[in-house]
Chain A
Amino acid sequence: MRQVYLDYSATTPVKNKVLEEMLPYFSENFGNPSSLYQIGFKSKDAITLARSRVAQLIGAEDKEIYFTSSGTEADNWAVIGTAKALKPKGNHIITSKIEHHALLHTCEYLEKEGYQVTYLNVDKKGMVSLEELERAITDRTILISIMFANNEVGTIQPIKEIAKIAKKHGVLFHTDGVQALGNLPIDVKELNVDMMSISAHKIYGPKGVGALYIRKGLTIPNLIHGGGQENKKRAGTENVPGIVGFGKAASLADENLASHIEKVRTLRDYFISQITTRIEDVVVNGDMEHRLPGNANLIFKYIEGEALLLYMDTKGIFASTGSACSSATFSPSHVLSAMGLPLEQVYSSIRFTVGDFTTKEDIDYAVDEIVEMVEKLRAFSPYNKDNVMNSAQSCNCQA
């Protein structure tokens, strides 16, 4: 069966060129980078090159890049590290309601530790308000953490303006750049961010490796304690093959950035236009202007997203939803909910993300199948144009 992967925001396949560079570091070049002999030096050199490549992709200096195990670890480190370092100054953190759980759950943890967190609202396009942000800052505020681009709807935040506000008030600014990396030009110096989390597996690199950019001159306490790796900032024997892969993926992303953006945007726009012309009552969530180039988040009215996903899976089409019924906790997407979408439309939403290996034929196949599936599912939905779902209707379950 044909397989059409439309979930590049979840993860990406490792590119051949990336894998090729990684492979020797599993076997012949297996040395510990901390060892004082040749195969150790080889590993150390490989990490040095990777660091420089990753730095290059975001306009940082090499020594401002600290490798971690994931974007999640980088988020934890940035937020918890800052919170601990600046406790004498204050205990207030500002973030948004649409952050990744890596950020939200870290903030919730800090709330239990006595910190105060403001979760900024977003508008219906998923954008934070700079006015609301500035109003939220108090003399106790120690950190602003707002994601660069959202993983569900792809909305890109005004990072440069947020950084300006943070600077004006002398507050540190961290951004989760995991989704933005490799999908937008990023220059941390021009943006003036203090910290940024990134990850390899969203840019055709391996899973299990991320990094935190920490602006030079800024010091935050370590999250992981142990040996002296990563300039004594992040202990643990380095994931050498992973870091090498991250480096290669970063240099490929840097080389191909413009063509990648153009390619995925064209395919994404084609997908959206095909779906919305061929299926009635499909609505695009988010903002078409300030949006990641490969992201399409669509509401298929009158049917449940999970049912459509399951159907798509039977035809080899892979996408995702953070929708109803997806877990025992019955938690619908916090992002779409924060954007003010009524629950029944949250349940009907699906995220499609295209990437470097997506072809027009993939899109054509997916669209043909989706048209048919939506028709089939709608045929036995109790809802339709004349009987619209109404979120005012009471719920007799305990959702």
Chain B
Amino acid sequence: MGMYNEKVMEHFTNPRNAGTMENPDAVGSYGSPVCGDMMEISLKIEDNVIVDAKFRTFGCGSAIASSSVATDMIKGKTLEEALALTNQNFVDELGGLPGAKIHCSVLSEQAIKLAIYNYAKEKGLVLEGLKDFDPNEEHDHE
């Protein structure tokens, strides 16, 4: 028995949606190498629906696996639906993460929210899911 379950390991070794895209409609970066984690997410958005998502992550196994499921889960979702997802949804989708690693999934949630925030700002969209979102807010990764 390793540190992570099979599903986490599968997403870690074969991450979905890894990389960048040409002319993304929205980009969000969260974290910094100083924390040991950094995620950048790129989105293609049509009629307020996420039609494609890509990520680049500097981080541990759970950060990479979370990035993979998170990008998978938001594809085909409306912006509001994507904003409603929390790191717990990603952790659940992965079948759980070790306690000390839960915070690594927060990275994905925040990067997605930031990307959508940037997009909404640029397009002048008012999104219910961004009502309480502060891009400069500090998160303790717990």
Contact = CB atoms under 8 A, between A and B. Distances in A.
B58 A399 contact: no
Interface stretch (B11-19, B44-52, B80-88, B122-130): B11-19
Interface in A372-399: 379-383, 389-391, 393-399
A344 B34 contact: yes
Interface string A298-342: 000011101100110110000000011101101010000000000
A329 B2 CA distance: 20
Q: Is the interface of B mostly helix, strand, loop or mixed?
A: mixed
A314 B13 contact: yes
Contact of B36 (A381, A383, A394, A399): A399
Given A310-B61, A330-B36, A380 B13 contact: no
B102 to A, nearest CB: 9
Given A314-B9, A397-B139, A398-B140, A382 B35 contact: no
Interface in B68-101: 99-101
Contacts of A303: 58
Contact of A382 (B36, B39, B60, B103): B39
B138 A344 contact: no
Interface centre among B55, B100, B104 (most CB of A within 10 A): B100
- Range of interface residues on B (Cβ < 8 Å): 35 or more
A213 interface: no
Nearest to B56: A382
B58 A383 contact: yes
20 contacts: A310-B3, A310-B60, A310-B61, A314-B9, A314-B13, A324-B36, A324-B60, A343-B33, A344-B34, A380-B19, A382-B38, A382-B56, A382-B57, A382-B58, A394-B34, A396-B35, A397-B138, A398-B140, A398-B141, A399-B36
Interface of B: 2-4, 9, 12-13, 15, 18-19, 29-40, 55-64, 99-101, 103-104, 136-141
Interface of A: 302-304, 306-307, 310-311, 313-314, 323-325, 327-328, 330, 332, 343-344, 347, 379-383, 389-391, 393-399
